[in-house]
Amino acid sequence: MEKKIKELEKIIKYGFKKSSLLEKALTHKSLNSDINNEKLEFLGDRVLGLVISETLLEKYPNEKEGIIDKKFANLVNKKTCSLIAKKINLKKFILLGSSHKKLERSADKISSDCLEALVGAIYLDGGFKSVEKFIFTFWEEYLLKSTVTLIDAKTKLQEFSLKKFKELPKYTFFKKTGPQHRPLFKTEVQIPNSKKIVGIGSSKKNAQQNAAAKLLKVLNI
């Protein structure tokens, strides 16, 4: 285990004063129901949220709260944490019970939870500056991506329709095709003075986004 700890410390560019904290951060409840990473994950989630919130407020002092909130959600969600966990190959170091070692479907969640536990462990071991440095290092590319304010197509169409016609776009779900494990949804959208546009997606929400994006293109918006 000591060899694995040293290897991971090299990857994350942080050396623990208390290696027991790192070992705890890597221990899933399936291995030990009493001593595991759940509380560190709880702490790490809050620490990560604080660092990202503070960074976004400093980076975008004039941005609307709603936009900052969207950026925040994208930076701290399980998907982003899972991608960072994969980048540092965290799965290799997680200590799992035999019942979880072959459960690939839960691998991303376990890895993202472990990453948050790692954040919590670094905070307890080295303090705020240490964990801030770790987060800046591994969330950097995602923070850079957040420099562009992206408004999703559905929101953009809604804003346009309300401003021009004082009406919301009308979405009509009308078809679901494909196999049960990979369904395909079709949705129509229309605003005043426009024709109906069909959108397709893997969920109703994605189909609406697709329809809105197509209509915006037709309207040259």
State the Cα–Cα distance between residues 176 and 186, nearest whole angstrom: 6
State the Cα–Cα distance between residues 36 and 19, nearest whole angstrom: 14
Q: Which of 23, 41, 113, 116 is catalytic?
A: 116
116 is a catalytic site residue: yes
- Residue 10: what are its φ and ψ, rounded to 5°? -65, -40
Bridge partner list, 170: 190
3-state secondary structure 135-163: HHHHCHHHHHHCCCCCCCHHHHHHHHHHH
State the Cα–Cα distance between residues 126 and 130, nearest whole angstrom: 5
Structure tokens at 86: 């994969």
167 is a catalytic site residue: no
Residues classed as catalytic = 45, 116
